[in-house]
Amino acid sequence: MNKLAVITGATSGIGAEFARQLATTHKTLWLIGRREQKLNQLAEDLRVQYGIEAHVMIMDLSDQSVIDQLASQLQEQSQLSTLVNNAGYAEDGEYHKLDWRLHEDIMNVHVEATLKLSYAALQVMTANKLGSIINVSSVASFLPTPSSPLYGPTKAFIRTFSESLAIKYKDYNIKIQALCPGFTVTDFHEKIGLNPDNFYKERGLARSWSSEFVVKNSLQDLQKGKVVSVPGWNYKLIVIVLRLVPISWILRILYKQGTSHRYSE
């Protein structure tokens, strides 16, 4: 079977690394993103190194009509084997001060796209009784994100949505995973105005990991059937603590620390 992997947010960071690692097991990749030059370079590198077909698709998933277009295309791909819903970002600011369109856009990218693309992919995968869907959530899905009011909540939706699907579709031999990375070395923080050289310095328990490490752990956990993948010993520990302590304690700590945190998958 000429297996197809579809990756949103494939331009750089975790998405680009998924493309590199999935190129070893798939004959065809769809690389979806907004930055054409970077995507073209990635596609060419993959063609040369792995001898695969790599198709660049310039799409802005904040537009619902674009999501619908991609979903329709997915339903026609009988060879679809893997879908990675990786596209995502944060909008920082006070909820009532941000333009409402910014809230709509992040909801479309994180929620609407994940829902519709997963729905489309499952039409194919249930017929084949085989497939994998990886939805990129975040460690931030386990706690409030006051400086980025929709980031944590939408990532929490992605995680719990994936957990819900994983139970039902196991009977179809379909693996569904919520990938919950902590700080990861990508260009995410540079794009929201932070100096990456300063940001990625040693952060104690919240130290960062490379995209290569995160994706390798995700794919290993997928094969093991782990529904929630948390790469890195430190973030596994953080998630255990967040699951155990009362929410009132977490809120009290956040109140004391203020709202100066930034988040990233």
3-state helix, strand, coil in the chain (%, to 5): 55, 15, 30
93 burial type by CB count under 10 A (0-12 exposed, 13-18 middle, 19+ buried): middle
Active-site annotation holds for 95: no
Active-site annotation holder among 155, 169, 175, 235: 155
Closest CA to 189 of 263, 95, 102, 87: 263
C-alpha to C-alpha distances, 204 to 19, 185, 234, nearest whole angstrom: 30, 15, 9
Active-site annotation holder among 3, 95, 97, 151: 151
**What's the start-to-end Cα distance of the chain, in Å?**
32
256 burial type by CB count under 10 A (0-12 exposed, 13-18 middle, 19+ buried): exposed
Helix (H) or strand (E) holding 31: strand 28-33
CA separation for the pair 105, 103 (Å, rounded): 5
> Residue 5 pairs with which residues in a beta bridge?
29, 82
String of b and e for 204-226 (b: at least 16 CB within 10 Å)?
eeeebbbbebbbebbbebbeeeb
Compute how many other C-beta atoms are within 10 angstroms of the C-beta atom of residue 136.
Answer: 29
Active-site annotation holds for 200: no
Q: What residues are labeled active site?
A: 151, 155
